[in-house]
């Protein structure tokens, strides 16, 4: 479904992503891990076209080359993402945040909107109903009319997820969806994500620092370090990979200690 080949990005002299290949199957749940600064978020930014990749890189989605397409076009093709810093629209209502996500699926044009045609209002009612249902699914229905800025951090993460879901994506990329949440909330969020994934048959790519999330839910895990892909495989295999352990914890620590640490987390 998503085919990334030879993807690179440099910022000045710094190589953020170097010749990364990534292939995600339809319906797969892919985890991406790596230490801070390993290029995970840059990878997302490249796929969603926030950054332009270096020449020679190629990103294909559903068999079509989407390298260098404008971000809104990528979104329209069915790639939704969340941001590490959420970037929800804090001054808009919770419901409006979802409606923004649904922008690509609005079925009226500028002309009809300007004159306030009857079908615009009918469509708006339909959109709102649909988004309220989705809000109910992520558990924020009561807050629909509240400004998103008034939500708690956990609710904001749910909202960011909801907004991405409102795009009706084929591929959903989550950038540290559980960061900063209490263990209870991590479980809650994880359950919601998995329920959504099953219900809509989503393909998921998750960047996560909380290894428990990755280990429990992902089919395959890709490990990045210094912009390079250093390992890929099922969670169980990754856990024991020598290079992964090194990347995370440095060479000094014995493998045994690391394993103990990973088990504990």
61 contact partners, CB below 8 Å, separation of at least 6: 1, 2, 3, 74, 77, 78, 79, 171
Name which position in 83, 134, 225, 262 contacts other proteins (CB under 8 A): 83
Q: Tell me which stretch binds other proteins (CB under 8 A): 102-110, 201-209, 242-250, 256-264.
A: 102-110
Regarding 120 and contact with other proteins (CB under 8 A), the answer is yes
Number of residues in contact with other proteins under rule CB under 8 A: 47
With the C-alpha atoms ordered 44, 47, 51, 54, is the resulting torsion angle positive or negative?
positive
Q: How is residue 102 annotated by DSSP?
A: T
Q: Compute φ and ψ for 27, nearest 5 degrees.
A: 80, 0
Regarding 70 and contact with other proteins (CB under 8 A), the answer is yes
Neighbours of 234 (CB within 10 A): 12
Regarding 106 and contact with other proteins (CB under 8 A), the answer is yes
Regarding 14 and contact with other proteins (CB under 8 A), the answer is no
Least distance from C-beta 169 to other proteins, angstroms? 10
Neighbours of 191 (CB within 10 A): 10
Least distance from C-beta 7 to other proteins, angstroms? 18
Regarding 129 and contact with other proteins (CB under 8 A), the answer is yes
Regarding 113 and contact with other proteins (CB under 8 A), the answer is yes
Nearest Cα neighbor of 180 from 217, 209, 137, 140 is 209
Regarding 101 and contact with other proteins (CB under 8 A), the answer is yes
Regarding 52 and contact with other proteins (CB under 8 A), the answer is no
**Residue 57 and residue 8 in contact, taking contact as beta carbons nearer than 8 Å:** yes
Q: How is residue 210 annotated by DSSP?
A: -
Q: Where in 160-219 is the site for other proteins (CB under 8 A)? A: 163, 167
Distance CA 149, CA 160 (A): 12
Regarding 144 and contact with other proteins (CB under 8 A), the answer is yes
Q: How is residue 58 annotated by DSSP?
A: E
Burial class (CB in 10 A: 0-12, 13-18, 19+), 122: exposed
Regarding 84 and contact with other proteins (CB under 8 A), the answer is no
User: What is the contact surface with other proteins in residues (CB under 8 A)?
Assistant: 48, 50, 70-72, 75-76, 80-81, 83, 87-93, 95-96, 99-101, 103-104, 106, 108, 110, 113-116, 118, 120-122, 124, 127-129, 132, 142, 144-147, 163, 167
């Amino acid at each position: 479904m998503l085919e990334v080949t030879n993807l690179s990005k440099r910022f000045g002299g710094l190589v953020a992503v170097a010749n990364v290949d990534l292939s995600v199957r339809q319906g797969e749940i892919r985890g991406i891990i790596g230490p801070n600064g390993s290029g995970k978020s840059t990878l997302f930014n490249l796929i969603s076209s926030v950054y332009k990749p270096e020449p020679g890189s190629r990103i294909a989605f559903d068999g079509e080359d989407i390298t260098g397409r404008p971000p809104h076009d990528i979104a329209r093709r069915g790639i939704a993402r969340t941001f590490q810093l959420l970037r929800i629209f804090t001054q808009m209502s919770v419901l409006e945040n979802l409606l923004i996500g649904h922008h690509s699926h609005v079925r009226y044009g500028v002309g009809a909107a300007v004159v306030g045609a009857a079908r615009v209002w009918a469509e708006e009612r339909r959109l709102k109903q649909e988004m309220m249902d989705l809000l109910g699914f992520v558990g924020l229905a009561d807050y629909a009319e509240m400004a998103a800025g008034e939500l708690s951090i956990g609710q904001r993460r749910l909202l960011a997820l909801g907004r991405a879901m409102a795009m009706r994506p084929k591929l959903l990329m989550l950038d540290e969806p559980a960061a900063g949440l209490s263990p209870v909330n991590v479980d809650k969020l994880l359950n919601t994500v998995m329920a959504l994934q099953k219900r809509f048959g989503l393909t998921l790519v998750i960047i996560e620092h909380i290894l428990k999330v990755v280990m429990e839910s992902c089919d395959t895990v890709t490990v990045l370090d210094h912009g390079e892909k250093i390992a890929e495989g099922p969670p169980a295999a990754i856990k024991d990979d020598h290079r992964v352990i090194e990347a995370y914890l440095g060479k000094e620590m014995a493998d045994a200690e690391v394993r103990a640490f990973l088990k504990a987390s």
